[in-house]
């Protein structure tokens, strides 16, 4: 019986070892396959943050918010700081540089006070913004462009009748006073 009990103990031992392997085996394999400590993302150039003013085409570079390692920031960190739902566009250029931009439909602060003259349906019109921009129409003057001297017609048609303020525009319109009895339509 001694050999029978040895066999029994041997079988019991083998079953216990087999059970441990069956239970702990996947955990051991999982531990072997799991990666080591998190590998930091490689550093890249600092992202560029800018506002793009669509009406005049100017760009304004903004500072990066503090508190984030921007050279190693991933998509999640970038989208948390610059939510796409708020109009931010995040793109990566070929050089690896990340550009974060937000389009603003208005004129930039530097151009918001400028005015220019342009032709609209044969009349002189005053637009907000620098000449050539798509700033809003302020008013149409009761002046036909064909009634102006050739000098003014050329300046207006070539986009060269730009003024830095309402005061400058007023001075120019005063010089055109003889060509019209009223400036508003």
So what's the pLDDT on residue 71?
Answer: 86
pLDDT tens digits along 25-65: 554 444 444 555 555 666 778 899 999 999 999 999 999 99
pLDDT tens digits along 67-92: 888 888 888 999 999 999 999 999 99
Average pLDDT over residues 171-185: 64
98-104 and 48-53 strand pairing: parallel
Distance CA 98, CA 182 (A): 53
Distance CA 131, CA 166 (A): 14
What ranges do the domains of the chain cover?
Answer: 1-34, 48-104, 115-179
The architecture CATH gives domain 48-104: Roll (3.10)
Cα–Cα nearest to 47, from 58, 36, 24, 63? 63
Q: What are residue 13's phi and psi, to 5 degrees? A: -65, -45
Residue 92 contacts residue 144 (beta carbons within 8 Å)? no
So what's the pLDDT on residue 87?
Answer: 94
pLDDT band at 185 (very low <50, low <70, confident <90, very high): very low
Percentage, residues of the chain above pLDDT 70: 74
Burial string for 71-98 (b: 16+ CB within 10 Å, else e) reads eebeeeebeebbeeeeebebeeeeeeeb
pLDDT tens digits along 118-155: 999 999 999 999 998 888 999 999 999 999 999 999 99
pLDDT tens digits along 98-107: 999 999 999 9
């Amino acid at each position: 019986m001694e050999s029978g009990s040895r066999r029994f103990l041997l079988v019991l031992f083998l079953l216990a070892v087999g059970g441990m392997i069956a239970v702990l085996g996947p955990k051991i394999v999982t531990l072997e396959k799991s990666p080591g400590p998190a590998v930091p993302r490689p550093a890249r150039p600092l992202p560029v943050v800018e506002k793009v003013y669509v009406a005049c085409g100017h760009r304004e570079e903004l500072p990066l918010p503090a508190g984030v390692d921007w050279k190693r920031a991933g998509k999640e960190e970038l989208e948390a700081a610059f939510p796409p739902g708020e109009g931010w566009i995040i793109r990566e250029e070929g050089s690896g540089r990340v550009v974060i931009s937000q389009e603003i439909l208005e004129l930039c602060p530097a151009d918001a006070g400028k005015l220019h003259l342009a032709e609209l349906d044969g009349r002189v019109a005053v637009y907000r913004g620098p000449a050539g921009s798509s700033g809003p129409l302020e008013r149409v003057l009761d002046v036909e462009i064909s009634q102006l001297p050739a000098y003014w017609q050329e300046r207006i048609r070539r986009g060269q009748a730009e003024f830095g303020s309402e005061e400058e525009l007023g001075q120019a319109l005063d010089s055109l006073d003889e060509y019209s009895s009223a400036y508003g339509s």
